[in-house]
Amino acid sequence: MLEGEHEQLTRAAISKALEGDTAALRLCLDRIAPPRKDSPVTFDLPPISTAEDALKASAALLKAVAAGEVTPDEAGRVMALLTAHKALVEAGDLEMRIAALENKQ
């Protein structure tokens, strides 16, 4: 239905935006600079260098949610990062332990 009309429709929307049509202006600006889907989250976490530290950090995250410092959705995204970081810490720990065992032999 709209095949071949993309360019003409785009130019019409731009023209309307330049004429002051606020709906067309919003449409154009949303394409040029779309709104962010998320935003930075700031709250205190303890240093995380061990798997146990990651557990402490997750407790701090839950405390931040309970205090209203971060939303549950934000906490879910941060928790995913903590979980991934914990897995990396554990993998690094295992690698060091294996290397130490191999060096003993």
Distance in angstroms (rounded) separating the CA atoms of residues 80 and 59: 14
Q: Look at 62 and 37; give whichever has higher pLDDT.
A: 62
pLDDT band at 1 (very low <50, low <70, confident <90, very high): low
The answer to whether residues 100 and 57 belong to one domain is yes
Query: Average pLDDT, stretch 78-94?
Result: 94
Structural domains in the chain (count): 2
What is the span of the domain harbouring residue 77?
A: 51-104
Distance in angstroms (rounded) separating the CA atoms of residues 17 and 25: 4
- Amino acid letter, 30: D
The answer to whether residues 31 and 55 belong to one domain is no
Domain assignment present for residue 41? The answer is no
Residue-wise pLDDT tens digits, 65-80? 999 999 999 999 999 9
Domain assignment present for residue 5? The answer is yes
Domain assignment present for residue 46? The answer is no
Domain assignment present for residue 59? The answer is yes
Domain assignment present for residue 10? The answer is yes
Q: Is the pLDDT of residue 36 over 80?
A: no
